[in-house]
Amino acid sequence: MRKISDELMNMLNDAVAREIQVSVQYMWQHVLWKGIGGFAVKDELKKIAIVEMKHAEAIAERIAFYGGIPTTKPAPIFVGNTLKEMLEQDRKDEEGAIELYTKIIQKAREEGDEVTEQLFKKILADEEDHYDTFSGLLEE
């Protein structure tokens, strides 16, 4: 079986850590937020949290395919105290994902790993949609 570089493997684990982070972060925001503003956002946060957990699973499966061990440690989780603070952080986290996943797509392409490239193209599309959602929710 073909191997991938340590650099790509580390990038994949960074992606898993990020996906675990946001899935917990968004779910806790869904659970903890109260008030009229949160009511409009709660279901969207839950839906996105579930999508992010599915991303973590898919990336972890790719790591395992290559003989690696997916991380169990999330990137730092930030729940926030106000709805605006939460959504601003969530949008920033999605920006970071878009940047990282664009690099992973390029690295996978360089290494001839078409499956990882295609996986991250699909995930990237989801992350861009999440970014748009959080940006829209922040509009007055």
pLDDT in tens, 19-59: 999 999 999 999 988 777 667 788 899 999 999 999 999 99
What does the pLDDT read at residue 41? 86
Q: Which domain, by its residues, includes 88?
A: 6-138
In total, how many domains does the chain have?
1
Domain assignment of residue 1, yes or no: no
The pLDDT of 4-28, averaged and rounded, is 97
Between CA 69 and CA 93, with CA 96 as vertex, the angle to 5 degrees is 95
Tokens of 60: 């972890």
Asked if residue 25 belongs to a domain, the reply is yes
In 3D, which of 5, 21, 126, 39 has the Cα closest to residue 79?
21
- Give mean pLDDT, residues 82-111: 96
pLDDT-based confidence at residue 131 (cuts at 50, 70, 90): very high
Tokens 């690099």 identify what position?
Answer: 103
pLDDT exceeds 80 at position 89: yes
Instruction: Tell how far CA 50 is from the center of its chain.
Output: 10
Please state, in angstroms and rounded to a whole number, the distance separating the CA atoms of residues 117 and 86. Answer: 31
CATH of the domain at 89: 1.20.1260.10
- What is the reported pLDDT for 38? 67
What is the average pLDDT across 66-70? Answer: 97
